[in-house]
Amino acid sequence: MYLSVRVTAFTARLTQWFLQKYGIAHSITPPFLPRALWTVPMASLYQFLKIRKNGTLNYLTPYWKLAPRNKIQQGKSPFFLLHEYEPRLPRELHIASFIDDTPREDQLDLLMLVRAVAANNVYETHVDNKRKFDLHRQPHSFKPGDLVLYDWQKQCDHKLSPMFR
């Protein structure tokens, strides 16, 4: 028996793989247009599988969800048909091009100012990171010149590193 389903190429591949796995011949009509309303003949496909597999469709349920839905759709993407939600697309960066009419000498002065601002930003970021690091640092209770008992390992951590005592 041949079935004819009007779907997108992505859904057609999934449906064809599923039907070939269970020995069903399948033909595909041309893909749908997003402007046109179309209905997937899911009921006939379901009835055919039910007759073919003697009424047991329990093991087909996970694969059945990959098939197209039995409702009118208006141009759902293949991602939506598989995962049932639309993906979040990254934002597009609109880079504007403009012509700068400032003379070269003024551009050099602006470049020096921008470099100074960039160096200042790097220094401020360094100070902020140091402040965050120092919040977690434990202060020592000894001062330089104090005698401190220090327990050194008997074995060194690496065979080539010197062992001090």
Q: What is the DSSP string of the chain?
A: -EEEE---HHHHHHHHHHHHHTT-EEEEPPPPPTTS-EE--HHHHHHHHHHHTTT--GGGHHHHTTSPPSSEESS--HHHHHHSSPPPPPPPP----------HHHHHHHHHHHHHHHHHHHHHHHHHHHHHHHHSPPPPS--TT--------SS-SSTTS----
Evaluate if residue 40 carries a pLDDT over 50.
no
More confident residue, 109 or 163: 109
Evaluate if residue 154 carries a pLDDT over 80.
no
pLDDT at 153: 61
Evaluate if residue 35 carries a pLDDT over 80.
no
What average pLDDT does the chain have?
67
Mean pLDDT of 51-71: 53
